[in-house]
Amino acid sequence: MGILIDEQTHVVIQGITGREASKVTKEMLDYGTRVVAGVTPGKGGIEVHGVPVYDSLGQAIKAHPGINAVLTYVPPLAVKDAVFEALHYRIPVINIITERVPMLDAAHIHAYARRCGSHLVGPTSVGIINPLARTKIGPIGGVNVDRVFRPGTVGVISKSGGMTTETAWIIQQAGFGVSTAMGIGGDFIKGGTFLDFIPMFFADPQTEAIVIFGEPGGGDEEALAAYIRQNGLQKPIIAFVSGRFVDHMPQGVQFGHAGAVIERGIGSPSAKIHALREAGVLVADVQHEIGALLKMALG
């Protein structure tokens, strides 16, 4: 099964005529994803790799009423309008690839998505993939997707795009595969956090364990730890928190992603690791230990 996307996912791509979006469209189609429409204002009537393009999302939905997922690949200042249009139509899954979305826009998007009940992944996401269903949204895995993302029973949530693939590779080398993997992005304000998707993995019969890749900054890992302490650890969670070196650096400095800010002791790797371990999460000291911890958890 997996979560968020499956064989019944019908995708529309906002900004499909852009160079990068066009390339990713072909990768998605080649993998098996049902990309049914694209949207670029002023370019309605053309096709991109056989996918019809419309001037608005409303036109695309009218022509393809089964659309239930949106991939947003538009410039930063256009993201808010594009996502608001998708939320207006109550699209259940929205994946934002765009980077450098203004923080105020991201806050408005986040709030509106919560009210609409949509699952929002990103901004600054690398995509979502369900190898069991041969479905992916976004550039995740690239053209060599099958070399890394093998079907299996481990869910993956990563703040880092590149480390989503690296983590899946470590899982494969340990003899396991992936149920669903996603890069949620490392922005300070993002649509979905570990806490939004972990309960979905807990409820998914296909997923037996979850691996998370954390980073310095924010309180996502601490919030997850608090949730587990209150509700219990229903399935094994293995975590790796990168950037331990920043514990020895001046506070109030941004490292890497926009959300990687540590201030007043909040968001430090050491604090995250302590909270997760206190909640019963298995935390790897180095990333390649994820495989050994998976073997220990799943036998």
pLDDT digits (tens, 9 = 90+) for 114-137: 999 999 999 999 999 999 999 999
pLDDT at 158 > cutoff 80: yes
Q: What is the pLDDT of residue 257?
A: 52
pLDDT at 264 > cutoff 60: no
The mean pLDDT value of the chain amounts to 92
Q: What is the pLDDT of residue 202?
A: 97
* Residue 203: Cβ within 10 Å count: 12
**12, HSE (Cβ side, Cα atoms, 13 Å):** 31
pLDDT at 92 > cutoff 70: yes
Domain ranges for the chain, please list them: 10-298
pLDDT above 70: percentage of residues in the chain: 92
pLDDT at 288 > cutoff 80: yes
Is residue 262 very low, low, confident or very high in pLDDT (cuts 50, 70, 90)?
low
pLDDT at 259 > cutoff 50: no
Q: Measure the CA–CA gap between 11 and 34, rounded to whole angstroms.
A: 6
pLDDT above 90: percentage of residues in the chain: 84
Look up the pTM and report it: 0.92
pLDDT at 93 > cutoff 90: yes
Q: What is the pLDDT of residue 35?
A: 98
Weakest mean pLDDT among 49-63, 192-206, 259-273? 259-273
Instruction: Tell whether domain 10-298 is in CATH 3.40.50.261.
Output: yes
Weakest mean pLDDT among 63-72, 89-98, 268-277? 268-277
Q: Measure the CA–CA gap between 77 and 186, rounded to whole angstroms.
A: 18
**What residues act catalytically?**
257
Q: What is the pLDDT of residue 190?
A: 85
By DSSP bridging, strand 282-283 and strand 178-183 are unpaired
Say if residue 148 is exposed, middle or buried (CB neighbours under 10 Å; 0-12, 13-18, 19+).
buried
Token couple for 41: 């204002």
